[in-house]
Amino acid sequence: MRIGEVLVVGAKANDNSELIRRICPQIETTKTGICWGMLQLDDQMALQLYGINWEQSAKRFAWDLLCQKALGVIVVFDWEQMETFQETAAILDYFNDQFAIPIVVAAKLEGNTSHIPEKAYRGGLTLSKLSRFTFYQPDNPQSIRQLIVDLICR
């Protein structure tokens, strides 16, 4: 069996673990807040998803080791909370400057929200050639699976 690795980074601790919990049948969490879960794609392929809280790890974490073997990074944030938008900009700047790795920037929309905060247009997010921006709904497992498809099937 082949196992690919995907990093799930969130501005808030709950964002990454919530995403992994929605699509993985079982997740493990360390004392430092890192979580991981296995997503079985078929009998030959599985994905190991690692949820890492940016607030706790930031640049002190061993990103270079993880990014060397990861298929990519999913950066999640809450579209309705401006502070997570700003933190996501810092996360993207870091990954864009340090690594050549595929990134899906995933803005969480609760319910049927379609409101785009005016401030989102002012600061913006810097996307590299390997980055893609999309929305997802945390209550919809298919929406979350689509993030992985978007990351892997570029």
Per residue in 31-79, pLDDT (tens digit) is 777 899 999 988 999 999 999 888 655 556 678 888 889 999 999 998 8
How does DSSP classify residue 99? -
Which residue has tokens 């990954």?
95
Distance CA 106, CA 127 (A): 12
Distance CA 104, CA 72 (A): 8
Average pLDDT, stretch 2-25?
89
pLDDT band at 130 (very low <50, low <70, confident <90, very high): very high
Domain map of the chain by residue range?
Answer: 2-152
Which residue has tokens 């699976």?
145
Residue 134 is inside which H or E element, if any?
strand 131-136
Q: Which CATH number fits domain 2-152: 3.40.50.300, 3.40.50.2000, 1.20.1250.20, 3.30.2270.10?
A: 3.40.50.300
> Which is more confident, 125 or 33?
125
Which segment of 1-15, 40-54, 112-126 scores lowest on mean pLDDT? 112-126
Cα 53-105-7 angle, rounded to 5 deg: 45
Q: What does the pLDDT read at residue 100? A: 93
User: Nearest 5°: phi and psi at 39?
Assistant: -110, 110
Task: Determine contact, residues 123/152, Cβ cutoff 8 Å.
Answer: no
Distance CA 39, CA 96 (A): 27
Task: Determine contact, residues 34/50, Cβ cutoff 8 Å.
Answer: yes
Distance CA 64, CA 86 (A): 23
pTM: 0.89
How does DSSP classify residue 81? -
Distance CA 102, CA 115 (A): 27
The fraction of the chain above a pLDDT of 90, given in percent, is 42
